[in-house]
Amino acid sequence: MTAAAIARRIAPGEVLRGARVSLRLVTLEDCTARYESWLADPIVNQYLETRWRPQPLESIREFVAGMVDSSDSYLFAILENESGRHVGNIKVGPIVWNHLYADVSYFIGERSCWGKGYASEAIRLATGFGFQRLGLHRLQAGLYASNGGSGKALQKAGYRHEAVFKGQLKNAAGAWEDHHWFAVLKDDWRNDQ
């Protein structure tokens, strides 16, 4: 085990359990053809920055290996409680330790799981981890203006809309979109949202 893995604030295999989904750290065993298919699906990846280049299984494995050894990012598998299957990912990081804040990014890869509230529950679990286990002061997430579902999931999880950067992002169709930022401070967050 690397020094970074020892310093991690969650044990390998430890589960953060919610009502419908749970989170655990992503492992190399999660790097499957199914995971690869999520990143190749133009509907799933339309708001993911990974869409700009092919994501073969080897690249996915390299990314996950880097996350396993990271001292400033936590990549979690989103698991559907009912079936136990891996349906997406959520990341807390990179963490800016000097200022105690981090980005939160996520996706639900299984389209059959869209619209069930899984993303907002995963965001709540990851936010609780960031504040309670990592001692962070602020968590933030950016999204494309047209990604209304993601904005609703963040708001449901207690995040507030803070900023708009006009025309900052190029969408999958090649058009410019506004970049919306949401955030929550530890002092303003409630786990029961």
Stated pTM of the model: 0.93
Q: What's the mean pLDDT in 90-105?
A: 97
- Among 7, 12, 20, 1, smallest CA distance to 125 is for 20
| Nearest residue to 167 via CA among 177, 154, 155 | 177
| Confidence band of 7 (pLDDT split at 50, 70, 90) | low
Question: Chain-centre distance of CA 131, in angstroms?
Answer: 15
CB 51 within 8 A of CB 45: yes
pLDDT digits (tens, 9 = 90+) for 29-76: 999 999 999 999 999 988 888 888 888 999 999 999 999 989 899 999
Percentage of residues in the chain with pLDDT exceeding 70? Answer: 95
pLDDT of residue 4: 47
> Given this model, what pLDDT does residue 6 score?
39
Contacts of 114 (CB under 8 A, 6+ apart): 108, 149
d(CA 46, CA 37): 13
pLDDT of residue 192: 61
Position 193 scores a pLDDT of 55
Q: What is the mean pLDDT of residues 8-20?
A: 91
